[in-house]
Each structure stands twice: as structure tokens, then as C-alpha cells.
Structure 1
């Protein structure tokens, strides 16, 4: 008897997280389609069945509308869709009803209007306050006069934090926010951001090292049941205190999990959710930093720890129920060597980390976002691209 082919997974957008999902599904014999920018490292994976690169000069939303809603790609019928960046979330939130109406796709159990509002970083903080989670102090900014009105209240360093991260990064590639140490620099940066059409809020910078950052991940079905619980923390970031993570570690953190559940359960959330906190050493409280309704750059760490959450969600959406779990290994590490070396140099220059301390910190078994002996082409292609640049 011939074995039937599993339902394919179609992954929209992303980079390291897309590669992680591709490998996870591919190793299980699940066909994987990827539609992202041509630079997406998953495009070179041995586990990709077919790629649909976003056309240069075309918005991701327009491309995916053509790909999935025009009826021109019958090979994509009967697939499950996974979002790996904010552009993909925006597309899914806008077109969930259209996608479901075709009868061709399965998507997760997110609520479109709630998902749209959570792409707004300021609205996320308002949600957090409404359910009793602690947040950093922030101020609404619509023009430069708003900053002038609160100038005496601002405590530096202060940040310009975008309302929509994916739109901000089109103007400021690779940055999560803009950090300022004095009022003149803040005014200059705010004027530039406003001139570029960036919506933002002014937000206090929670003091303390990057080691105070922790995250909670879960998936909640439409009945309010959790599929899993996962927590991790950050060891280092680059640039220090305001860049992307360069070194992560898994650890069950009851306080982080409790605050995360308070947030998601409190807003009646459903679907995949990740929320990041920073412990404020001034009062000991975990403060909400941001929330993502998607797979993050640290996805490979989660899989390596034994919690293959993308497959758990895949199985759940096919109606194959599993018991709620938080079964993952503590102290599994994800290391980004190049980025972490830059973090080390910055910390060394400020006297916060010695060469010996850095070497001791990385002398552990490591997980990598891209490098894999069984799937070498993504790392090789990234190396070639680096030399070309």
C-alpha cells in the first residue's frame, strides 16, 4: 500500500526561523515550500521542495496575494501556512478569511483584528497594562511638539521605539529602535524619523544588562488551551543593550512564564505567541518589552531543546491532539559567533567582559542558527555572500 504524502508546509517570510522550520518539517518527510526574499537562507536548504522568491520591487503582501489568492498555483492547494516575519503576519491578518474561503489552506487560530493590533508596539503595551503586566514608561509622539512638551520628564538614555517594527526596519535596516543620550540628539533623531514617515513612541530604557532579558512562548487554541510553554533568556546581544541576540540559553523561568500567561490569557489570545520581558532592577519587576505572534530568530534553539513547536502546531491543526507540555531541556545554547564576537569586543572595551570570561562562556556545546553538517548549503551560501560584500 502506497504511503500518502503529508500535507506540505508553506513558510512565508523570515530568515533563520524559516530555515529552522524548513529543516524540522523536511526531516519528518513533510514537503516544504518557502516564499521569502531571495536572500532567505532557507532557499538553499536541502529540505526545500520549491521556492517562490518575492519579486524584486514588489511588496511581499502583493506577491503573496498573487501567489495564494489568484488561483494560478494549483500546486499550493492543500497546504498549511506559517508566518515567519511581520510582513507575513500583516498579510495573514488581512487575508485570513480569503485564504480560508478558498478551502485550499490551513492557517493557525489567530484572531485577525487582535493580530493586527498587536503589530502595533504601543497597543501591545496598552494591552499589557490592561491585564496587570508591568511596562516601561512611554509617551505618544505624533510631531516634534509632543517631545518638547515632555522634555523635562525624559530620563536618558531614552529610545525612539517604532510602532511597527517591520516598517521601521525598511528605513533603519537591522535596528529595533534608536537610542539617545541627550535631548539635542533626540530632537534630531525624532525629526529624521518623522520626515521618513515613521510612527513611533518615546520609551524609557530599562536599566540593566542584557542578561535581564527573558522570553515566553506558547500556542493557545480557540478554547483557551495551551499546547506548550517554553522560556529562555539572553546572555548577550549586539549592539549591547539594543541589538539582536548573539547568545541565548534555554531555562525554565517560572516568573517569566507566569507573566506571559497573564498577558496572553488576559487578552483572550489564540494562536502562536511570544512575549519578551526585561527585569527592572530598580523594582525587581518584569517589564514587557515586545510581543511577537510568530516564530522568532531563536527558533532553532527551541527545536534543539527538544520542543519542536512548529511540528506540534502542525499536528494540532490537523486535529491530532497532544497533551499540554513544557518538556524541553534546560541550558541548551544558541550561539551566533560573528555577532557575539562583536558583542564581546564592545563589552571588553567598556571593562565588562575579559577575554577569559568570554572564552569560558562559549566553551559549551552549541546550537547554530545556520550551520549544519547535514544541511551545509545555507551556511556555505551565507559565507559566499559575506565575501562578496
Structure 2
């Protein structure tokens, strides 16, 4: 337990995924009273953590936003000291950003301009910001242009990606982060589906290179605008493969990513946690900005293991007692592992010839930080396993 006197509670928005779980563990181990928030208990396995002091079940953040905010503020009003508010999923980031003026009266939040988090989440405005500040982004054509099929074929060809401006809403509808189009016909059909649902979307060039050409710059920018803590990481496997979320990632330092990422985030005035995803073009060696996560990363547990406890770094900054700056600029060979989805990913990498059985087996020998499992706090893993078993059983019955 940390010797620092922790008077302010921490409120974690999102308890049905391991990002929120690992935030709870990171703060609870420091002796901080942690409040886990979700809209229902079912599936919210992080609430089973011994580091979750209290579960707060509130109205759904999307279906009843106003009531959700009122309930959240109602909790904070009863506290002697302002709680630190940590959104652990994009929808929570958006609603905190939308109601930031009201929330800042009752919670401790990074001092960023209202709307900036949403700008960085939205692919349209993000690309504009990146180009304005001299950061490379993949060539992009928006769906509101005329003769889009011909323009795509002329400017960068096939295969290409059809991606949404707002990823999490797209995933809720299609259960996919994007569509891959190998030819004009496939692109035409994908555009029809996207337009039917009313999504803003764009077609984008695929930056050439395997999945281990995906890199991240992970950092914390303090209330004064200084990049105080940072490192970089290299993805090894994703799920779904090639265009999904990280399931096996290693910490590896690339100085160039600090040069690009730190400058971009400070130039736009961002504060708090951030992760920029880049892809390295295997032909040119250039790094292209793919997206920005303005919340804790999927592999935050690995960052904790190498000495960057991002939730606690933020907590201490916001309560006015910042920690000493720290950067991990050597290679630690620590890997993040989300075993459930990585097993599914390995199967598909093997099918497509992107990975050999030997490579898959030897990779599992590396030092790992586990997404959910913890011998110190096993109940969330038990709850997650029960949830997974019910899901499998349901499929078998069908």
C-alpha cells in the first residue's frame, strides 16, 4: 500500500471489460477506495474484484444520458472530497466530454477543452487535426464525394478499407470495426450497408505490412501540459486479425514514435492518458497515424507491470500530488496477453499462413501480463469464465 494519504475516491466507468478491471486493481493496490460503475451487474465481472469497494449501478449512459449524469453527480455530491473520474470505454469518454462542464464541478478530471476528446475519437476530425499538425494519415476518401468507386480505384486501388467516423457505434451495429473491400463490387455493397444505417464513413488505403508493423505511443500528459510518463509498444497479434484490437502485444521502444506522438498531443492541447496507434509502411518505413485512444489502453496491465501505473499517475496528478516523471525507453520484453481472443486469432493466423505453429508456441513462453487472470484477485476471472461458458452453451444449444 502506498504511504500517500488517499482521501479522494476513484470512480471507474465501465466494469464489463478488463480495462476497467485493471484500473480498479491499479488503484486499489495503492489503498484507494474504488467505485465500479455500470448499467447492470450481469456481465460486469470487474465488480467481483476485491479492489472494487462499491458497485454503483446507474441508468444506461446512452439510453438515458441525463439521468446517468444526474445519478453520477448525486453520488459525488455526498463525498467530502471530489472523486477522480476515469472513463474506461469510448462511449463513457464521449458522455464525460459532452457533460464535462457539469461533471468538473463535482469530479476531478483532466483540464482539457470541451469537445477535444470527441474530436480525437472521431476519425474525420482526427484526420484533419493530424494533417494540420504535419502527422501522416492513410489516404482517405469520404463517402459524400461523387464517383467514389472510380476515385478509390484511381487514387489507391484495392483492397481497401471502409471505416466509420465513430467506431464503437459501428461495432454495435455490424459487429465489425470496418469492412474490407477487395474490388469495386464489394466496396459498392459495403457502402450500401453503411449508408442504409446512416453512418458517416470513409474509404482508406491499407498501409502495407503485417500486424507487427502496428505500434503505439502510450503516455500521460499532466495538468500543465507536460508529457510526464511514456513508452511505446509493438503489437504482435490482433483480433480480428489484421484490423482488430490487441490480444498479444510487447513493450518495445521506438524513439520516433515519441517524437511524433508527444508533439501532436501537446500541440492540440490534450491532457490525461492517451494512446496513438501507428502503422509502419513496410515499403517506405513511414509511420501513419491510425487512431487515438483517449482512455486507458487495452494493455494497461502490461504498462503497470513495467512501472507505468497510468491510473495512479493520473490520480496523483489530479489530486495535486504528482508523481516523478518516468519513461520506459529500454526494451523490457514484457508481453500483454488476452488469452481467450488470442487463441481465436492464432487459429486464423495459421489458416491464412501469417503465423507458423512453431512461432505461435514459442511466443507463449515470453513473460506476460494477463488481461483478466490474477492470482491475487481471481474472482473476476471466475465470473468471466462463467459468462464465457454460458455464451458457448447458448451457441451449442442453437
TM surpasses 0.5: yes
* 1:80 paired residue number: 84
Q: How does 1:243-322 map to 2 (within 5 A)?
A: 243-322=244-323
* 1:163 paired residue number: 165
- The yes-or-no answer on 1:375 pairing with 2:374 is no
Question: Shift in Å at residue 27 of structure 1?
Answer: 1.1
CA distance in 1, matches of 2:282, 2:246: 20
Helix, strand or coil at the partner of 1:150: helix
CA distance in 2, matches of 1:277, 1:188: 28
Moved more, 10-19 or 266-275: 266-275
* 2:19 paired residue number: 17
For the 8 Å contact 2:110–2:223, the answer to whether it is kept is no
* 1:111 paired residue number: 113
Q: How does 1:196-215 map to 2 (within 5 A)?
A: 196-215=197-216
* 2:387 paired residue number: 385
For the 8 Å contact 2:139–2:204, the answer to whether it is kept is yes
Helix, strand or coil at the partner of 1:160: strand
CA distance in 2, matches of 1:385, 1:194: 34
CA distance in 1, matches of 2:5, 2:251: 36
For the 8 Å contact 1:67–1:73, the answer to whether it is kept is no
Q: Deviations over 1:188-216 (max 9, x none)?
A: 11111111121111111111101001101
CA distance in 2, matches of 1:285, 1:230: 19
CA distance in 2, matches of 1:5, 1:361: 40
For the 8 Å contact 2:273–2:310, the answer to whether it is kept is no
The verdict on how the C-alpha distance between 1:23 and 1:146 changes in structure 2, with shifts beyond 3 A counting, is farther
Question: Shift in Å at residue 271 of structure 1?
Answer: 2.6
TM-score by length of 1: 0.92
Helix, strand or coil at the partner of 1:106: coil
Helix, strand or coil at the partner of 1:127: helix
Question: Shift in Å at residue 37 of structure 1?
Answer: 4.4
* 1:47 paired residue number: 51
Q: Deviations over 1:315-372 (max 9, x none)?
A: 1111113332104762111112222222222222223322122111111222111011
Give the aligned length.
Answer: 383
For the 8 Å contact 1:110–1:272, the answer to whether it is kept is no
Aligned with residue 91 of structure 1, among 92, 95, 104: 95
Question: Shift in Å at residue 253 of structure 1?
Answer: 1.3
Question: Shift in Å at residue 171 of structure 1?
Answer: 0.7
The verdict on how the C-alpha distance between 1:341 and 1:168 changes in structure 2, with shifts beyond 3 A counting, is same
For the 8 Å contact 2:76–2:107, the answer to whether it is kept is no
CA distance in 2, matches of 1:70, 1:192: 41
Q: How does 1:184-223 map to 2 (within 5 A)?
A: 184-223=185-224
* 1:27 paired residue number: 29
TM-score by length of 2: 0.90
Question: Shift in Å at residue 69 of structure 1?
Answer: 3.5
Helix, strand or coil at the partner of 1:374: coil
* 1:120 paired residue number: 122
CA distance in 2, matches of 1:318, 1:192: 47
- The yes-or-no answer on 1:131 pairing with 2:133 is yes
The verdict on how the C-alpha distance between 1:365 and 1:270 changes in structure 2, with shifts beyond 3 A counting, is closer
The verdict on how the C-alpha distance between 1:269 and 1:78 changes in structure 2, with shifts beyond 3 A counting, is closer
CA distance in 2, matches of 1:355, 1:74: 56
CA distance in 2, matches of 1:27, 1:146: 57
Return 5+ residue gaps in structure 1 as ranges.
none
CA distance in 1, matches of 2:46, 2:140: 37
Q: How does 1:341-352 map to 2 (within 5 A)?
A: 341-352=343-354
CA distance in 1, matches of 2:216, 2:197: 31
The verdict on how the C-alpha distance between 1:147 and 1:247 changes in structure 2, with shifts beyond 3 A counting, is same
* 2:73 paired residue number: 69
The verdict on how the C-alpha distance between 1:323 and 1:73 changes in structure 2, with shifts beyond 3 A counting, is closer
The verdict on how the C-alpha distance between 1:238 and 1:119 changes in structure 2, with shifts beyond 3 A counting, is closer
